[in-house]
Amino acid sequence: MPDDASPTPQSVLALTPLNPAFRDDPYPILHDLQTHRPVMRDDAAGVFFISRHEDVRRILTDLTLWRSPEKAEAAAVLTRRGLDEQTDEERRNPTILLMDDPDHARIRTPLAQALYKRAARFRPEVEQIVDGLLDKLQGRSTFDLMSEFAVMAPIDVIAAILGVSRARLAEFRDWSEGVVQGLNPMRTPEETAHMERAGPALRQHMVEMIAARRKKPEDDLVTDMVQAQAAGADLSDEDLVANLNILLVAGNLTTTDLIGNAVQLLLTHPDELAKLRADPALIGAAVEEVLRYDPPVDITGRIASRELTVRGCPIHPHQSMLLSLRGANRDPEVFEAPDRFDITRKQSPHVAFGGGAHLCLGAPLARLEARVALARLFARFPDLRLADPAAPPAWRTLPFFRGLRTLEVAV
Ligand code: HEM
C-alpha cells in the first residue's frame, strides 16, 4: 500500500543505475520500498515494482502467469517497448526468454536437456579456457580484470560449448560483444552500428553451423540440437538459430558481471577472502553469496493472466509486474543481516536466477564458470588487490544490470 513516508520517487527509472544514488548503493532505496511500498505502481512505465522476497518468489513460481510482452496491456509501455524495436525476423522467431507455453516448453525442454548435459561435463574445458586467459596476464603488474578476463571467459566458454571453431573465435567474440548492445538503451551510434553488424553475422554463422553439423556431426551443442530435431523434437531451424543466439545475449554479460562483482567484493572484504583462501571448498558458497549480495540482474517480469492480489494491491489481467530480484535477495524477513557479505551463510534461497518456468537456463554453466574463474584467479595471483583502493567502483549505467565497467587490479 502507498505510504507517503517514503522518500523514494515512484519511478522505475529511479531504480536503475541511471540514478546515481541507486548506482552507488541501491540497497537503502530498495529497503525503503520494501518497508513503505512493497508493491509500487509506476503509471508512466505501466508496471508494478514488487520487492519483497515472499511476493517475488510466489509470482516467479506461479506457472499460470505470462511472460510474453504481447500479452501486456497497452499501458504497460516499458514491457511492450521492445516489441516496437523488433525486426520482422525477431517478431517471427521469438526466444524462450519472452515466450509462453506451449511454445516455451516445446523449445526449452530439448535445449535445457542438451545444455545441462554439456555443462555437467564441461569443467575440464572451462579450466583450460580460464588458464589460457590467465597465462596471457602472467608477468603484468596491473590489468583491467573486466576487459582482459571477465568479459572473455564467458564468450570463450559458450563458443566452445556451441562448437564455434577456433579460427572464427575472434569474429565470434566481436559479434558477441555487438549483440549484447541490444540490452543497452544508452548505446552510442558506434555501438548501435556494432550491434546492427553483429546480429546478422552471428545469425548467418549459426545457420552455417547447423547445416554443417547436419552433414557432419561434432561433439558440440549445435550437433545436439540438430540431432534432437532429427529424432523428432518439434524445432524449426529458425527456433534453433534464435534460441542458440539468445544464449550469448542472456549469458555473457551476466556471467562477466558475476565474476567482476565477485572479485570486487572479495577484494574489499579481506576477512571473507581469507576464509576462502583458508578453505577453497568454500568457493561454491562464495559464488552463491555474490549472487545473493550483488546479483548481476536486477529484475525479471511476469504479466497477470488473472485477477491477483499482492499485499492487498489488486493487479488485473494483462497488467505487468517487475520483480526485484535484487530487493528480494536483501529481504530481512528471509536473510539474517541481509546487508552483510558472508560467504559462510548457511542457507541462501536467493532468486538471482529468477524461478519457475523461466528459471535461468544457464545457471549451472554460470556457476561452473564463476567457481573455476575465481578459484584459478586467486590461486594464480596470491597477492591480487585493487590497483587503487581509494577509487570508487566504476559501476556501469546499463538499466536493470549491476556490473563494473572496469576493475583495475594489481598482482
Ligand atoms: C550469473 C549469470 C546469470 C544470471 C544472473 C542470469 C539470470 C537470469 C534471469 C534472472 C533470468 C530470468 C528468469 C525468470 O524470468 O524467472 C534468466 C533467464 C535465462 N538465462 Fe540466465 N543468467 C545468467 C547466466 C546465463 C547463461 C550463462 C546462460 C546461457 C548459457 C543463460 C541463459 C538464459 C536463458 C536462455 C534464459 C531464458 C529462460 C527461459 O525464459 O525459459 N543465462 N537468466
Q: Is the CB of 255 under 6 A from ligand 1?
A: yes
Average pLDDT of the segment spanning 39-49: 96
Nearest-CA neighbor of 70 among 272, 268, 303? 303
Beta strands in 56-195, from DSSP E residues, in sequence order? 142-144
**Ligand 1 center to 258 CA (angstroms):** 12
Q: Which atom of ligand 1 is nearest to the CA of 257?
A: 1
Residue 2 predicted with pLDDT over 70: no
323 lines ligand 1 (CB under 6 A): no
Q: Is the CB of 354 under 6 A from ligand 1?
A: yes
Q: Can you give the residue ranges of every domain in the chain?
A: 12-410
Left if phi > 0, otherwise alpha if psi is -120 to 50, otherwise beta: which for 4? Answer: alpha
Edge-first strand listing for the sheet containing 299-303 = 39-42, 47-50, 320-324, 299-303
Evaluate if residue 177 carries a pLDDT over 90: no
Q: Specify burial of residue 411 (Cβ count, 10 A radius: 0-12, 13-18, 19+).
A: middle
Task: Show Cβ contacts of residue 123 under 8 Å, excluding neighbours closer than 6 positions.
Answer: 368, 372
What is the Å distance from ligand 1's center to 46 Cα?
Answer: 24
Q: What mean pLDDT comes out for the span 41-60? A: 97
Residue closest by Cα to atom 12 of ligand 1 = 354
Contact 141, 387 (CB under 8 A): no
In angstroms, rounded to a whole number, what is the distance separating the alpha carbons of residues 160 and 173?
12
CA-nearest residue for atom 31, ligand 1, is 362
CB atoms within 10 A of CB 282: 16
What spacing in Å lies between the alpha carbon of 382 and ligand 1's midpoint? Answer: 32
Over range 137-148, report the average pLDDT: 96
Mutation test of ligand 1: which of 353, 365, 371, 398 has the most ligand atoms closer than 8 Å to its C-beta? 353
- pLDDT at position 304: 98
Note the pLDDT tens digit of each residue in 295-338. 999 999 999 999 999 999 999 999 999 999 999 999 999 999 99
Phi, psi values for residue 290, rounded to 5°: -65, -45
CA separation for the pair 145, 143 (Å, rounded): 6
* pLDDT value of residue 93: 77
Residue range 372-390: mean pLDDT, rounded: 97
User: For residue 41, what are the β-bridge partners?
Assistant: 48
What per-residue confidence (pLDDT) applies to 118? 96
Spatial neighbors of 6 by CB under 8 A, at least 6 apart, are 32, 33, 35, 36, 37
Mean pLDDT of the chain: 93
Using the predicted structure, report yes or no on whether residue 3 has a pLDDT greater than 70.
Answer: no
Give 346 Cα–ligand 1 centroid separation in angstroms: 24
Q: How far is the CA of 353 from the centre of ligand 1 (A)?
A: 6
Is residue 179 very low, low, confident or very high in pLDDT (cuts 50, 70, 90)?
A: confident
* pLDDT score at 4: 55
Please state, in angstroms and rounded to a whole number, the distance separating the CA atoms of residues 15 and 298: 9
How confident is the model at residue 348, as a pLDDT?
A: 86
Q: What is the pLDDT of residue 1?
A: 46
178 residue type, one letter: G
Can you give the pLDDT at residue 88?
72
Q: Is the CB of 251 under 6 A from ligand 1?
A: yes
Instruction: Please write the tens of the pLDDT for every residue from 65-98.
Output: 999 999 999 999 989 887 777 777 777 778 999 9
Assign 206 a pLDDT band (cuts: 50, 70, 90). very high
- Supply the pLDDT for residue 392: 95
The closest-lying atom of ligand 1 relative to the alpha carbon of residue 252 is: 27
Dist. CA 134–CA 293, nearest whole Å: 26
Number of Cβ within 10 Å of residue 211's Cβ equals 11
- Cell digits for 387? 590497483
Identify the residue whose C-alpha is closest to ligand 1 atom 9: 353
Q: pLDDT at residue 217 above 90?
A: yes
- List phi, psi (to 5°) of 232: 115, 0
53 close to 33: Cβ distance less than 8 angstroms: no
CA of 256 to the centre of ligand 1 (A): 13
Share of the chain above pLDDT 70, in %: 98
Pocket test for ligand 1, best of 246, 360, 368 (most atoms within 8 A of CB): 360
Domain 12-410, CATH 1.10.630.10 — does that match?
yes
Do the beta carbons of residue 382 and residue 137 sit within 8 Å? Answer: no
